[in-house]
Amino acid sequence: MTADLFDSLAEAQPTCEEIADGAVLLRGFAKPIEDELIAAVREIVAQSPFRRMTTPGGYQMSVAMTNCGERGWITDQTGYRYDAIDPRSDAPWPAMPAVFRDLARRAAESGGYAGFAPDACLVNRYEPGTRLSLHQDKDELDLAAPIVSVSLGLSAIFLFGGLSRNDKPRRFRLTHGDVVVWGGPSRLAYHGVAPLADGEHALLGRKRVNLTFRKTR
Ligand code: MD3
Ligand code: FE
């Protein structure tokens, strides 16, 4: 067998790697449905555009966000919360596409969390230089459910810390099509994204889009 054929066979089969207690990295898991996912993102954004939100501390986030599903994550001067209404359109967030829901459920099952039924999907858009500082995701009522993240477009350095803000983060490169299931003891770990390096992605151009699927109640 030639090295090339061996490589292409290896790429066709997503790998499953436990990167921390309860956190499973599924390399390339979303790749087979990349076109459907990107088309769905475009439809969501047509209805609820990306916007840079303001934190309670008065800072404008560098990452632009939107949501789909029954509820969406928002931040403003008064705090962080999940809300059924997009404050920009005063209408419900776009429905979660079946291709999103199914991907999140299949990924969670591969990661050991069968029956994952997300009610919210936060869609983050990174441009070169934008970053997400170290934080915990704890606005969800059901912390027993995992969070499933899907990376599309330019790759990013993901920072994965511990349960204390002071724990030195490990760094992982997340590339187009990678899916991570964050559950169990990793669910409340501090995490963030280093400033995005410039580049050009064949499908998304100078952008990274990250989907995070959540069960908020
Ligand atoms: C680890 N998003 O939206 S995805 C977020 O790439 C967020 O846009 C990042 O952090 C991004 O809140 C990282 C990976 C991720 C998401 C949720 C987690 C890692 C997590 C929750 C707990 C532990
Ligand atoms: Fe997060």
User: Counting atoms of ligand 1 from 1, which one is nearest the CA of 156?
Assistant: 6
* Rounded CA separation 15/24 (Å): 10
173 closest CA partner among 147, 196, 155:
155
7 within a domain of the structure (yes/no): no
60 within a domain of the structure (yes/no): yes
Q: Residue 72: what pLDDT? A: 98
* Rounded CA separation 2/61 (Å): 48
Q: Is the CB–ligand 1 distance for residue 121 below 6 Å?
A: no
117 within a domain of the structure (yes/no): yes
**Which residues, at least 6 apart from 216, have a Cβ–Cβ distance to it below 8 Å?**
71, 82, 119, 120, 139, 140, 141, 142
Q: Is the CB–ligand 1 distance for residue 48 below 6 Å?
A: no
Provide the domain count of the chain.
1
The two tokens of residue 209 are 């889009």
**Per-residue pLDDT averaged across 48-72, rounded?**
98
Q: Residue 87: what pLDDT? A: 98
Burial group, residue 99, by CB count within 10 angstroms (0-12, 13-18, 19+): middle
Is pLDDT above 80 for 36? yes
> How much of the chain, in percent, has pLDDT values that exceed 70?
94
Domain that holds residue 32: 16-214
* Rounded CA separation 67/210 (Å): 11
pTM, entire model: 0.94
4 within a domain of the structure (yes/no): no
191 within a domain of the structure (yes/no): yes
39 within a domain of the structure (yes/no): yes
**Per-residue pLDDT averaged across 51-70, rounded?**
98
